[in-house]
Amino acid sequence: MLYIIPSPIGNLADITFRAIEILKSVDLIIAEDTRTSSVLLNHYAIQKPLSPYHQHNEHKIASHLTDQMIAGKNIALLTDAGTPGISDPAYLLVKSCVENNIEVNCLPGATAFVPALVDSGLPINSFCFEGFLPLKKGRQTFLKRLSTEQRTMVFYESPMRLVKTLGHFIEYFGPDRRCCVSRELTKKFEENKRGTLQEVHDYFNSKSVKGEIVIVVEGLEEIKNSKLKNKNIPIG
């Protein structure tokens, strides 16, 4: 069996009892970064064989790991933070397991975009998760398409690219779209900065930024509804 184990996005206490039990029971743990996962495993006194599994080697070793599970081994997959497969490696191995009739068990648990989305104060009855934007090729086309997206949008970003990305959002979405930037979620210095894209851009442009970033941006439909409400025009 393959177990997909969500790992804490910051606070090591944000892991389930079941996840710890499974990590203690499997034959092998594969991890996006063995150094990062070792901190978690050592904290909970989990001593199991640990091997790397990341975007640079997953194509090479997915079939080997599949063979091990066919032979009877149970394997758990950890990524640095959050649920494997959400902007992290997992898809290829899960696909291989499904094709070979190997059971896959994904545990519920930490995912950065969920608390960021709820904290944002923006509509969450319907939203789209876009993960990381294309770095270069296709970025403009991607943003142009999203400029008419009516649902709340959720993105991941690095602290080094945050201000640049907010600038691109202003260019394609307009400066008045509401947004929320969440960083250092579940940690001591957690911050959720809300405002218009322009306000939030100017705020982060004036300071150094650390930590993993989640950006939540309101959709076009909410902009339209807000304008209609402000004009006291009934919404059908």
More confident site: 224 or 9: 9
**Strand partners for 178:** 196
Q: Is residue 234 over pLDDT 80?
A: no
The whole-number pLDDT of residue 59 equals: 93
SS3 state of residue 43 = helix
Which architecture, in CATH terms, is 2-106? 3-Layer(aba) Sandwich (3.40)
194: which residues sit within 8 A by CB, 6+ positions away? 120, 121, 178, 179, 180, 200
Q: How confident is the model at residue 120 (pLDDT cuts 50, 70, 90)?
A: very high
Q: CA torsion sign, 93 to 95 to 100 to 106?
A: positive
Q: Which residues contact 123 (CB under 8 A, 6 or more apart)?
A: 152, 218, 219, 222
Look-up of token digits 């191995």: 93
Note whether 175 and 151 are within 8 A (CB). Answer: no
Give the tokens for residue 179. Answer: 């947004």
Segment holding 28, helix H or strand E: strand 28-31
d(CA 174, CA 139): 17
Banded model confidence at residue 135, pLDDT cuts 50, 70, 90: confident
Model confidence at 226: pLDDT above 90: no
Q: Are strands 2-4 and 75-78 parallel, antiparallel or unpaired?
A: parallel
DSSP string, 103-135: -EEEPP---THHHHHHHT-S--SSEEEEEEPPS
In this prediction, residue 136 carries a pLDDT of 83
| Average pLDDT for 75-84 | 96
The predicted model scores a pTM of 0.89
**Ranges for all domains in the chain classified under CATH 3.30.950.10:** 113-228
CA distances for 7 relative to 38, 46, 78, 105, 222, angstroms:
12, 14, 7, 15, 33
- Indicate left, alpha or beta for 207 from its phi (over 0: left) and psi (-120 to 50: alpha): beta
CATH of domain 113-228: 3.30.950.10
- Structure confidence at residue 137 (pLDDT): 82
Count the Cβ atoms, other than its own, within 10 Å of residue 189. 9
User: What pLDDT digit, counting tens, does each position of 170-196 carry?
Assistant: 999 999 999 999 999 999 999 999 999
pLDDT at 224 over 70: no
Domain with CATH 3.40.1010.10 in the chain: 2-106
Name the DSSP class of 71.
Answer: T
pLDDT of residue 73: 98
The yes-or-no verdict on residue 12 having pLDDT over 90 is yes
Quote the pLDDT of residue 232: 53
Q: Is the pLDDT of residue 233 over 50?
A: no
| Minimum mean pLDDT range among 59-68, 76-85, 218-227 | 218-227
pLDDT of residue 223: 65
